[in-house]
Structure 1
Amino acid sequence: MNEQAIEQHLKKAVEAIGGLCWKFTSPGTAGVPDRICIHRGRVIFVELKVPGRLPRPIQRRRIQQLKEHGVDAVIVDSINGTREVADALRAA
């Protein structure tokens, strides 16, 4: 399974519960997560990876920075992981 397929599944899963799943870019800031998912005031930043591939050090640092500011940020490398994000948003 490639990253694009996981990303498409994440987008569909979040939109199916009425949420937003936007591609996230931040010009000038390397390593930010790929997607920002929002539902009923809950926000989760998502870094997508091919199964078994680890995030780069700068990506791990950005995720840690978000967590230090009280924001949920996760790494997803499977279809099951996309469901977990949608479930977490739905629980908000």
Structure 2
Amino acid sequence: MREKYIEQKLVREVKKRGGLCEKWNSGSSGWPDRIVLLPDGKIGFVEVKAPGEKPRKLQVHRHEQLRALGYKVFVLDDMGQIGGIIDAIQTA
């Protein structure tokens, strides 16, 4: 399974729950691929990877920066994780 298909499924599932799943083009490297915006002001960040792939060192650093600011950050490499990630963002 390719990263692209996992990312497309994430976008569809977030939309089903009334949210937005926007691509993050920050102009600098290492930031998560997607910003998930859900009703009631819920926000989370998702790094999408092909199955079994891990974030690069710079990506891990960016994730730590966001978590230090109190944001939820997830690494998604399996379609089966999508529901749990969205649930975790909604209950934040």
Q: TM-score, normalised by structure 2?
A: 0.92
1:17/1:90 contact within 8 Å kept: no
Q: Identity, % of aligned pairs?
A: 40
| Cα shift readout 1:19-55 (whole Å, capped 9, x = no counterpart) | 110011111x210000000112111100000111111
2-structure distance, mates of 1:42, 1:85: 12
In the alignment, does 2:51 pair up with 1:32?
Answer: no
| Cα shift readout 1:40-90 (whole Å, capped 9, x = no counterpart) | 211110000011111100000000000000011110001111111222244
1:34/1:46 contact within 8 Å kept: yes
Give 4+ residue runs of structure 1 displaced > 4 Å after superposition: none
2-structure distance, mates of 1:34, 1:2: 15
1-structure distance, mates of 2:89, 2:16: 11
Aligned-residue CA RMSD (Å): 1.1
Structure 1 residues 49-88: aligned runs within 5 Å: 49-88=49-88
1:22/1:36 contact within 8 Å kept: yes
Give the residue type in structure 1 aligned to 2:33. D
Unaligned runs of 5+ in 1: none
The DSSP-based 3-state class of the residue aligned with 1:38 is strand
Aligned residues: 91
Q: TM-score, normalised by structure 1?
A: 0.92
2:72/2:89 contact within 8 Å kept: no
